[in-house]
Amino acid sequence: MMFTCLTPGCTDPRHQYRFAAAARKGPVKAARAHKRSSSTKIVRDRKGRSLRVDIHCHYLNRDAAAKLAHLNPAQHEPSSKFASALTREVNVKQMQDRAAKLSTIEVRLQDMDRMGIDIQAVCPAPNQTYYWTEPGLGLEVSRMVNDRLAEIVAKWPDRFVGLGTVPLQNAELAVTELERCVKQLGLRGVEINPN
């Protein structure tokens, strides 16, 4: 089980496995055990307010997209390749409507402020992992994407943490780029796109 319910009053026995021994010792010990385990450390800002972190956000690197546009990347993307004509049409419209939000950090910051989001974990747009490219080109565009994410994080370190991408089509290049992402660029890790 990845998540457990530790909220007061939860009666689901699958969520109470940690408390079974304490429960056998009586309700007072069970309540104490539940209280100890359900307290979590809350990250707070300098004013004592808990931080709101959005952990699933994408950044569209327009330079990387432009570099590969002549190769027609959509023909390699499962979300396009296996979609109906109507789905592809909707996806194109959505991208046109959302491109500024995905690629313009100032717009993103305004949206974050409006929604009360303190920090975003930002990673490449799923179609910018470019696993279908030749390995050398995959490394080149991975570096473009990662360098830009690192610039964003460096410019607004109190608003963003970054996850990069690696050229999974070549394991050695992927490991090298992962090390560069974390050790040199200061990114927290990489996104692995299962498509």
pTM: 0.71
Q: Considering only CA atoms, which of 162, 172, 170 is closest in space to residue 137? A: 170
Residue type, 38: S
Q: Is the pLDDT of residue 8 over 80?
A: no
Q: Is the pLDDT of residue 128 over 80?
A: yes
What local confidence, expressed as pLDDT, does residue 168 receive? 96
Q: Considering only CA atoms, which of 144, 148, 133, 139 is closest in space to residue 72? A: 133
DSSP, collapsed to helix, strand or coil, labels residue 50 as: strand
Per-domain residue ranges of the chain: 1-40, 53-190
DSSP of 69-117: GGG-GGGG-HHHHTS-HHHHHHHHHHHHHHHHHHH-HHHHHHHHHHHT-
Question: Which residues sit opposite 119 in a β-bridge?
Answer: 53
Q: Is the pLDDT of residue 18 over 80?
A: no
Looking at residue 128, what DSSP letter applies?
Answer: G
What local confidence, expressed as pLDDT, does residue 194 receive? 83
What local confidence, expressed as pLDDT, does residue 25 receive? 60
- Tens digits of residue pLDDT in 24-41: 565 555 555 545 444 445
H or E stretch at 144: helix 135-155
- Tens digits of residue pLDDT in 78-97: 777 788 889 888 878 887 88
What local confidence, expressed as pLDDT, does residue 87 receive? 85
Chosen CATH of 53-190 out of 3.20.20.140, 3.90.1150.10, 3.40.50.720, 3.40.1440.10: 3.20.20.140
What local confidence, expressed as pLDDT, does residue 172 receive? 98
What local confidence, expressed as pLDDT, does residue 149 receive? 97
Structure tokens at 184: 């040199």
What local confidence, expressed as pLDDT, does residue 3 receive? 28
